[in-house]
Structure 1
Amino acid sequence: MRAEPVGSGVHVPLLHRELVALAAPTQVWSAQDGTMTGGAHGVFHGDWRYVTGLELLIDRLPVAPISTSEDPDWFIFRAVPLDPETGRPRSRVTIERMREVAGGAVTERVTLVNGGGEAIDAVIELSCEVAFTPVASVRAGSPAPVPISLEMEGDEVLVTDGTRTLRARSRGGHLRIDGNRIVVAQEVHVAHDDWFGITLELELIDSSLVLHGTDGPPLADELPRSGRPALDRWMKRAVADLDNLSLDAGHGAFPAAGAPWHMTLVARDALIASRLLLPISTGLAEGTLRTLAARQGVQLDPVTGEQPGRILHSMQQGVTDALRPGVEAPPVYAGSTDATPLWIVLLHDAWEAGMPLETVRELRTALHAALAWMRAATGDGFLACTDERGMGVAGKHWTDDAAGMRCSTDEVGVATAQVQGLACRAAVGAARLLDALGDDGEPMRLWARRLRERFRAQFWVQHEGIRFPAMALDARGRPFETLVSDIGQLIGTTLLDRGEEETVARLLLDDRLSSGFGLRTMATDADRYWPLAHYCGAIWPHDTAIAIEGLLRSGFGDEARNLAEQLERAAGTFDGRMPEVYAGYGMEDTPVPIPHPAACSPHAWASAAVIPVRTALLEGSASTRPHDRVAAVVGLVAHRSVDAPMRSTPPAPSRSRAHLHLVPSAPSALD
């Protein structure tokens, strides 16, 4: 992609240093001190940003922040006001600012506390800049606000664009309109050892929303502490974040993909997150299954990608990001390869985890339709993406752009190894479901067996002395001979035999994939590897978690624990809120994982990744011993074999491997 020229005015907002308070579908983004200064900052509701700035002034001067603290239901920002005459902090006076977010509502409370020996006079002013802007344009770095009207309506301010409405109220202050700003102000006289407060209350209304927040019970009761602080922090925050990401479209709760850009239904994200969470709850799984079944394809529509039996890819409130110049996805888009087998897998696994067979029976028609689509899409070959609208592979499978894979409008596109694993696991699980429902599961078992045979004959490659499953086959059946983390998602699917699973399990601990903080999406010696490239080197926690889940299912407890320790290490650095993705630099480059500046956080599947990690660390193989810092990165030499040799040494000089190049701060750093 060509970079925008300097001075173009396009600045894609970065998120890795920002603070978010959310209760789906509402979210508030700011700096860590609570101020809003541009970029992704603002008050969002659904697919729109309503407020772009929020400013607090005391006697017309900004306050000096001193701390930020978080409670499950609010944030508190503490600051000191400045003396208008000296510019120095006022003695024994503090400001406490509380931010509370609920679905469709945001409240800011400002309290001036006078701990001095004399009364003080001050002017408190809290203002918000209003601009109704589609989220897609904010994400693109070129916000495109629509025309709005602001007017006083009694003691309230009413803002609308004809579809969306913001109502502003205050307690303790006087509201006024100043251009596109809503201002609440109050002159106060505060006695010594006393306080005074004002509030700004925003109500956000969008009659076009089809996805709403939920008021159901929490995802899970508090689990017993593990004695591992980083894991416990991750677990606690993940459960809270998943509760705050929960949405409902009328068929039960499901997790929104992630904040701020994907506060909506993205099928693969919801299906994967719900599956990872099954050990603690089947509630989100049932809601996700029912929501997607209610929108399953029934006709052929080349515009949306709808096909009979196909599970949709995503729902939006309006026009979404351009997938490439001149091409935009519709509000409901079904052009995904992996969503349908993922739906079948979740239905089976939720039933195994305790979801009643009667619920499965209610979804029996959707199951048969999904299986018919998967069989038709696969034919006598592989499950591959077709591109009805010329969108490229965006929306097709989770590694949308790895190695430049593309689908054209007039042929079957690439077939990824990861999707074949899903299809095989879906077929085997469906066979068990069909048997339980009184149908005949044997045809699906035969279908899976034939898929395994084709996969074994065409996907396995030998590259630079190493045997592994190719990342994908192109439209002509030629393999992409690139080692990627997707191979970890094949374990436990029944696509591989035991010997093949052992080969893949060893490769996962090779230091080209295994970073010490999780699995890189692409091996470091690949031509297209770059640690900040989303699908060509960065680390996605859910990707590693799926590998851990499969390793546990297939009895590779030691390998699962190794990878789990890597994610636990990363979670400790991110204070328990795992981002959607982070850079693929390894422990030989940096002592802590490096954030990816554009990652969504919180994100549903990154949060849900804690469950297989917890299982591997607390319930995995009893024979597994914690590995030391180096072994966690490079794997165990004893696991090497002729079939799948591991390399813990750096790749050949002809390969470009990205490392951090740091100027040492002291001579000892060179030792």
Structure 2
Amino acid sequence: MTDPGHQILDPTGDQKDLSMDHDDAHAPEQPEQPWLHDLSLTLAAPTQVWSAPDGQIGQPASRGEVPLSGLAGVHHGERRVLCLLRLEVDGREPTPVAGHGVRGDTHTFVAVPRHLGDPGPDPTVRVERRRDVEPGLVRERYTISSTAAEPVACTLGLRVAADLAPMDGVKGGTGRPVVAPEGVGGHVLTWQEAGLRGVLRLPGARTTDEGDHTLATWDVVVPPGQSVSHELLLTVDDTGAAVSAPSRRAGWSPVEVESADRRLAPVLERSLDDLRLLRLTARGMDDVEEEFVAAGAPWFLTLFGRDSLWTARMLLPVTTDLAMSTLRLLAHHQGTRTDDVTAEEPGKILHEVRSAGFSLGEDDGADRHLPPVYYGTIDATPLWAMTLHDAWRWGAPADEVEQLLPALERALAWQVEHGDADGDLLLEYVDRSGHGLSNQGWKDSGDAVRRSDGSRATSPLALAEVQGYAYAAATRGADLLEAFGRPGADRWREWAEQLRAEFARRFWVEDALGAFPAIALDRDKRPVVSLTSNIGHLLGTGILDQDGVDVVARRLVGSDMLSGFGIRTLSTQAAGYSPTGYHVGSVWPHDTAICLAGLAAEQRSETAPVAEALLSALTAFDGRPPELFAGDARSTQPVPLPYPAACRPQAWSAASAVSLVGSVLGLRPDRDSLAVAPVQPWSFGATHVSGLGTRGRPVDIEVTADGAGSISAR
């Protein structure tokens, strides 16, 4: 996903720094992407409510002007509905005291109207605001309670406005003026536009037009020792939405952890709750609703090929159903033609789906706008094949796997016929439309692929990790074809070995500390010499020989790469390194989890320090790891610093907690059986895990204090 953070995306996907030097101090302000690291979120996809920590949303605007809300608001799908929702008592905002989330879909805020109640320092009147979110529904309950000696009379007020702004406008910092509701004067307000309908019910309230917003009020009298409550209920529907809410509960079994290391259980519990709330569905083959996990809040509550696949793959120890539904849905959209505008090609797996496309901004007069169905990704196709194979190994029903083998054959053919555009055995990408993403690997910002001197590489680019994915897709795809008696296995194994030899010949470079794989080959097929986390994705794919595995494992845990909270996207020794660089120095939890899984698959001793770093980061963010955070060394920053514009929760960041548990347990699935080989040295103490397993049959896993593991049927 591309998220320029506090920067703005240029037409090639490049990030432009919005900070000003002294000479530009009086330059006109440019729109800025909203920061969200200090906001409160209540979520049940596709509905999400972002507010200040005290629960308040937005600020009133002058008539005709854009409201000052940033991201804050009630969002549904790809539109913001309410941009203003502020609570008052007697025309004053109460003083905030506390806010906490019971679950990801429920939040409570407590405040004190200090002008009410008995005299003295002790608060005797308080306001509790409880927010509950379901898909397409937001309910807020306002309760004024009093322990004052006399009855308390006051007016409870809500200032409300809607702008119905598209998500790309909100993300770009532009917004739009408020939209007038229907029904002012009554207690039901309605907004409608382009298939979106929002209905706000305020039982018992009086509503008045305040010009730039609507004011709803209730007269309240609270007897001593009692409370009075009023409610708001917002329902939202969007007939043009590309995705919808799931109709059932999450299908995976509960996962429980009892461990001497008290960090494991709450991290896993919070992450699984966030993944539950990020679930969505879309219509796939035979018009069947298929479930997937949306990429992340707030900008990416939709289907993303790469993100949804990685998430489903990381969750395989918990459920294969999610992987199979995600695979079927993506196969339904698998490319059938060549189209430079959408980047579609026969056999290719898409990048993202939206209802109306997504604007990335302008540069040099060129508008970067992704179409509603966009295929600009180089890695989703091999990742699809890898996920199908892994789901099979974890026990997905054979008939469901077999149904997708034709799509597998098309995906493998795409790697040769289209992914390798110049026939040199390497997969490369280039944006042919001039309006899509300039970088199409997982690091898809415009400045992500840099040399050690800081200069940017030019497309077409062949990324290192993509070659590893392609090798794994071909070899594991061959295993599937052979297992189901279909032809082609020998062809793909032979092609994979040729790719492996070509990778070994062309990607290895050296710096002052020795050899490592370059991040990519550039337009002229020259190695882009830069040490990055991309090389960690090669582990476990089979593309490296043992010497290569040794080198990659050692380089990942060097002090220039391992921050203490995860693996940096770029070495601190590179000229372009920045701890808050989106893809050039920050730490991404999912990226570290992928490297960790590779180290565990290769049974490396480096697994332990990387696992400790990732667990420390997940714990520091209370089990809700953001999309990314700063790459500062733990020795200089004792807690990881937020990246202010990072999505949270984000699917693959949340799923990294499950991947972490699987990696440290050393899970090895083989259809009907599951083996464990706990990481050594084992540092988590006596640990019991239940709810993981193959073929939907959960098992109990025990690890002793000294690291001996065993499995028993439940």
The TM-score with structure 1 as length reference comes to 0.89
Q: Counterpart of 1:428 in 2: which secondary structure?
A: helix
Aligned equivalent of 2:262: 229
Aligned equivalent of 2:95: 64
Aligned equivalent of 2:531: 483
Answer with 325-334 or 614-623: which moved more.
614-623
Compute the displacement of 1:615 (Å). Answer: 2.7
Q: Quick check: 1:393–1:407 contact (8 Å CA) kept in 2? A: no
Q: Distance in 2 between matches of 1:508 and 1:151?
A: 61
1:588 paired to 2:635: yes
Q: Counterpart of 1:133 in 2: which secondary structure?
A: coil
Unpaired segments ≥5 residues, structure 2: 1-15, 59-68, 284-288, 667-676, 685-714
1:373 paired to 2:414: yes
- Per-residue CA distance 1:535-581 (angstroms, 9 max, x = gap): 1110001011011111111222x312211110111112111110000
Cα 1:395/1:329, change in 2 over 3 Å:
farther
Compute the displacement of 1:324 (Å). Answer: 4.9
Q: 1:399 aligns with which of 443, 446, 454?
A: 443
Answer with 572-581 or 175-184: which moved more.
175-184
Compute the displacement of 1:137 (Å). Answer: 1.2
Cα 1:384/1:89, change in 2 over 3 Å:
farther
Q: Distance in 1 between matches of 2:132 and 2:492?
A: 51
Q: Distance in 2 between matches of 1:598 and 1:41?
A: 13
Compute the displacement of 1:512 (Å). Answer: 0.7
Q: 2:468 aligns with which of 421, 426, 441?
A: 421
Q: Quick check: 2:132–2:138 contact (8 Å CA) kept in 1? A: yes
Cα 1:603/1:220, change in 2 over 3 Å:
farther
Give the alignment's Cα RMSD to 1 decimal. Answer: 2.2
Compute the displacement of 1:584 (Å). Answer: 0.6
Q: Quick check: 2:429–2:462 contact (8 Å CA) kept in 1? A: yes
Answer with 464-473 or 594-603: which moved more.
464-473
Q: Quick check: 1:150–1:180 contact (8 Å CA) kept in 2? A: no
Q: Distance in 2 between matches of 1:524 and 1:516?
A: 13
Q: Distance in 1 between matches of 2:537 and 2:340?
A: 30
Q: Counterpart of 1:150 in 2: which secondary structure?
A: coil
Count residues in correspondence.
623
Cα 1:279/1:494, change in 2 over 3 Å:
same
Unpaired segments ≥5 residues, structure 1: 628-671
1:623 paired to 2:680: yes
Q: Distance in 2 between matches of 1:351 and 1:91?
A: 60
Letter in 2 for 1:384: E
Aligned equivalent of 2:82: 51
Q: Distance in 1 between matches of 2:228 and 2:117?
A: 22
Cα 1:394/1:82, change in 2 over 3 Å:
farther
1:291 paired to 2:335: no
- Per-residue CA distance 1:219-267 (angstroms, 9 max, x = gap): 4413233332322221111101011111100242111111111111111
Q: Quick check: 2:335–2:349 contact (8 Å CA) kept in 1? A: yes
Q: 2:386 aligns with which of 336, 345, 348?
A: 345
Q: Quick check: 2:518–2:529 contact (8 Å CA) kept in 1? A: yes
Letter in 2 for 1:263: L
Answer with 323-332 or 364-373: which moved more.
323-332
Letter in 1 for 2:77: G
Cα 1:226/1:317, change in 2 over 3 Å:
farther
1:28 paired to 2:60: no
Cα 1:94/1:154, change in 2 over 3 Å:
closer
Letter in 2 for 1:403: V
Compute the displacement of 1:319 (Å). Answer: 3.0
Percent of aligned pairs with the same amino acid: 36
Aligned equivalent of 1:193: 225
Aligned equivalent of 1:386: 430
Instruction: Describe how 1:451-600 pairs up with structure 2 within 5 A.
Output: 451-556=499-604, 558-600=605-647
Cα 1:182/1:240, change in 2 over 3 Å:
farther
1:3 paired to 2:18: yes
Letter in 1 for 2:431: D
Compute the displacement of 1:347 (Å). Answer: 0.7
- Per-residue CA distance 1:77-119 (angstroms, 9 max, x = gap): 1111131799998841111110011111111110111222321
Aligned equivalent of 2:360: 322
Aligned equivalent of 1:355: 396
Aligned equivalent of 2:306: 268
1:168 paired to 2:200: yes
Letter in 2 for 1:195: S
Cα 1:393/1:195, change in 2 over 3 Å:
closer
Cα 1:407/1:527, change in 2 over 3 Å:
closer
Q: Distance in 2 between matches of 1:407 and 1:216?
A: 46
Aligned equivalent of 2:297: 259
Instruction: Describe how 1:630-645 pairs up with structure 2 within 5 A.
Output: none
Cα 1:382/1:230, change in 2 over 3 Å:
same
Aligned equivalent of 2:271: 238
Q: Distance in 2 between matches of 1:324 and 1:550?
A: 39
Q: Quick check: 2:257–2:264 contact (8 Å CA) kept in 1? A: no
Q: Distance in 2 between matches of 1:245 and 1:395?
A: 26
Q: Distance in 2 between matches of 1:85 and 1:197?
A: 17
Aligned equivalent of 1:662: none
Compute the displacement of 1:163 (Å). Answer: 2.5
Compute the displacement of 1:464 (Å). Answer: 2.1
Compute the displacement of 1:607 (Å). Answer: 0.3
Compute the displacement of 1:393 (Å). Answer: 4.6
- Per-residue CA distance 1:36-78 (angstroms, 9 max, x = gap): 2322111101111111121111111111111112212411111
Q: Counterpart of 1:597 in 2: which secondary structure?
A: coil
Q: Distance in 2 between matches of 1:145 and 1:262?
A: 23
Q: Counterpart of 1:257 in 2: which secondary structure?
A: coil
Q: Distance in 1 between matches of 2:167 and 2:601?
A: 40
Aligned equivalent of 1:101: 133
Compute the displacement of 1:312 (Å). Answer: 0.7
Q: 1:313 aligns with which of 351, 358, 362?
A: 351
Compute the displacement of 1:172 (Å). Answer: 4.2
Answer with 221-230 or 161-170: which moved more.
221-230
Q: Distance in 1 between matches of 2:290 and 2:77?
A: 18
Q: Distance in 2 between matches of 1:546 and 1:262?
A: 21
Q: Distance in 2 between matches of 1:319 and 1:442?
A: 41
Q: Quick check: 2:146–2:152 contact (8 Å CA) kept in 1? A: yes
Letter in 1 for 2:36: L
Letter in 2 for 1:56: L
Answer with 594-603 or 276-285: which moved more.
276-285
Letter in 1 for 2:548: E
Q: Quick check: 1:174–1:184 contact (8 Å CA) kept in 2? A: yes
Q: Counterpart of 2:191 in 1: which secondary structure?
A: strand
Q: Counterpart of 1:29 in 2: which secondary structure?
A: strand
Q: Distance in 2 between matches of 1:509 and 1:396?
A: 27
Q: 1:277 aligns with which of 304, 315, 321?
A: 315
Compute the displacement of 1:467 (Å). Answer: 0.4
Letter in 2 for 1:302: D
Cα 1:154/1:444, change in 2 over 3 Å:
same
Q: Quick check: 2:308–2:326 contact (8 Å CA) kept in 1? A: yes
Letter in 1 for 2:574: A
Q: Quick check: 1:59–1:123 contact (8 Å CA) kept in 2? A: yes
The TM-score with structure 2 as length reference comes to 0.84
Q: Counterpart of 1:303 in 2: which secondary structure?
A: coil
Higher relative contact order (CA 8 A, sep 6+): 2
Aligned equivalent of 1:653: none
Letter in 2 for 1:30: S
Q: Counterpart of 2:449 in 1: which secondary structure?
A: helix
Letter in 1 for 2:137: A
Q: Distance in 1 between matches of 2:509 and 2:42?
A: 47
Cα 1:148/1:186, change in 2 over 3 Å:
closer
Q: Counterpart of 2:486 in 1: which secondary structure?
A: coil
Cα 1:480/1:350, change in 2 over 3 Å:
same
